[in-house]
Structure 1
Amino acid sequence: MDIPVPSLVRQATARARREGFSLSCDPAAGRLLAVLAAHLPAGARVLELGTGTGVGTAWIASALLPRADVTVITVEKDPGTAALAAQGDWPGFVELRCADALDVLGEAGRFDLIFADAQGGKWEGLDRTIAALAPHGMLIVDDMTAAPQWDTEQHARQQQVRQALLTSPLLTSVELRHGSGVILSTRHT
């Protein structure tokens, strides 16, 4: 079955391919992000850690259109990659930041949906990401299925993140064999 891909996603994917950026959000995780974003109420705040060229951002923003009653903040640490994402035709509710994710987590408040897809906020500082979740907020973390090319350190870090998410007393979590492996968590009140 040929499932339609939103225009913003096609544009962001084309930027990634053109520039040889291989770390984009995979389509399975992107569709899950879109489902989660589409369910958000008015006034919701979304944070994406690791913009890349904007593929994950595009899935989120596409699901929220034509609304203007939400805020999406997306953070990319690498200035060159952030500049690629900035080439997108983003809706007014999307704010792209070139910054360290851990710095943004310290000052940006609480969020109803967080997509942790960067070293900062996922592999390092996961506790700060969890603290930034609003009560009943959702956290999606991908790359939770080990890849054959990962070295021993990457395997160990992935297992630490899995363990932290699945055993946190602050979260209710489920591990999904979806895309690159996803853990979806909801923050308790």
Structure 2
Amino acid sequence: MTDELIQNYPINYVAIDQATKQSGFTMASDPKTCALLKTLAGTKPGGKFLELGTGTGLSTAWILEGMDNSSVLTSIDNDPFFYNIAEHFLKDDRLSLVKEDAGEWIQNNKDSKFDLIFADTWHGKYLMLDEVLDMLNPGGLYILDDMLPQSNWPDGHQEKAMRLLELLDERTDLNLTRQCWATGIVIASKK
């Protein structure tokens, strides 16, 4: 086995990827991370999924690819330019794209429960961590990426990432696995 990703990409992936590159968006999820999200989504038939940080929709496309027909995905982003790319390419009745600040959305939906949460923005990762983890059903999966140092990290971000990992390690309600693969993946399951 090699480190090369050989996958069947979601139907709109190439078009979204091209639009992403043309837009100048540099924070798109790594294809390896996306392929893992597809597999993990497949473990939750009839599941309720939450993606915090749609971006241009690359990871969204993969999550949808792994979901069954009775699952639903809510994906949140507040950047209208990038959100519009996702909205243009992702036409799926199982998907609810929400253009809103993630913090406000979390506050307004704190009683909602999910079987899988992919936290790919500040809220749910570095902000409002407890609130988002409270939204996770028992047996639910919480997934983070970009936990290994990245070239586009601003000064001081490595310390934030390390503190987040410490906070997750301290929790007694999660089973946690750190993976030094792709951009650095964390997968936790709720006890």
Alignment of 1:1-189 (within 5 A): 2-42=6-46, 44-64=47-67, 67-108=68-109, 109-148=112-151, 150-188=153-191
CA 1:82–1:144: 2 relative to 1, 3 Å? same
Aligned length: 185
* Cα distance in 2 between the residues matched to 1:94 and 1:151: 32
Alpha-carbon offset, residue 71 of structure 1: 1.0
- Report the CA distance shift for 1:62/1:152 in structure 2 as closer, same or farther (over 3 A): same
Superimposed CA distance per residue, residues 20-56 of structure 1 (whole angstroms, 9 cap, x where no aligned partner)? 21111101110110000011122x1000000000001
Q: Which amino acid in structure 2 is aligned with residue 45 of structure 1?
A: K
Compute the TM-score of the two structures, normalised by the length of structure 1: 0.91
Residues 8, 59 of structure 1: 8 Å contact kept: no
Q: CA deviation at 1:128?
A: 1.4
Q: Is the 2:61–2:90 Cα contact (8 Å) retained in structure 1?
A: no
- When the two chains are superposed, the root-mean-square deviation of aligned CA atoms in Å is 1.5
What is the aligned-residue identity percentage?
Answer: 27
Q: CA deviation at 1:151?
A: 4.1
For structure 1, list consecutive stretches of 5 or more residues without a partner in the other structure.
none
How many angstroms does 1:183 deviate by? 0.6
TM-score by length of 2: 0.90
Per the TM alignment, residue 8 of structure 1 is displaced from its structure 2 partner at its CA by 2.5
| Partner amino acid, structure 2, of 1:135 | P
After TM superposition, where is structure 1 displaced by more than 3 Å over at least 4 residues in a row? 148-152
For the 8 Å contact 1:133–1:139, the answer to whether it is kept is yes
1:7: Cα distance to partner? 1.4
- SS of the residue 1:120 aligns to: coil
AA in 1 matched with 2:27: L
Range moving further from structure 2, 53-62 or 82-91: 82-91
Paired with 1:77 and 1:149, the residues of 2 have a C-alpha distance of 20
CA distance in 1, matches of 2:20, 2:154: 25
